Amino acid sequence: MLKLKASDVSSNEFGSAWLYGLAEAMQSTMLARNGVGIAAPQVYVSKRVIIVASKANLRYPDAPEMTPIVMVNPQILARSEQNNLGEEGCLSVPNERGQVPRTNEIFIRYFDLEGQQIELMLAGFPARIVQHEIDHLNGILFVERL
């Protein structure tokens, strides 16, 4: 499952009880495991849904506190040129951490659970989490980027 390319959520799935249920299952798994993000394939659903929930922590003391954002069919539209190394872990790769190069700033487009399109610029730790989670949607684990 973690090696598959996940499918887009289709227009008839927006606003459905199924999609809300998936987001709830993802959020409760993420909170139970003390994660700062999660992707649907990590709960065995090969669909393009991620949650991003940055918070300050030992490795990223200046990270912003974010109310968890559910992003459906997220896309990176533009990237800054600068790459930074930063520590990552993964709920699906227990006991492994590593320094992963990621673009510092990204401009993204995604849809909320009801299908409203949102565009957002992110920098630093939240941008890192989004890149890690979109990798999950494309079947890539952070250990492949070390």
Residues assigned a catalytic role:
133
Binding status of residue 50 toward Zn ion by CB under 5 A: no
Q: Which of 40, 127, 129, 137 is close enough to bind ligand K3U by CB under 6 A?
A: 129
Classify the C-alpha dihedral 135-138-139-145 as positive or negative. negative
Both tokens of 66, joined, read 């974010």
Binding status of residue 90 toward Zn ion by CB under 5 A: yes
**Binding residues among 61-120 for ligand K3U as defined by CB under 6 A:** 88-92
Which of ligand K3U, Zn ion, none binds 139 (CB below 5-8 Å, type-dependent)? Answer: none
Q: Which residues contact 27 (CB under 8 A, 6 or more apart)?
A: 38, 51, 68, 70
Termini Cα distance of the chain = 21
Which residue number has the CB closest to Zn ion?
90
Which spans of this chain sit near ligand K3U (rule: CB under 6 A)? 34-38, 42, 57, 88-92, 128-129, 132-133
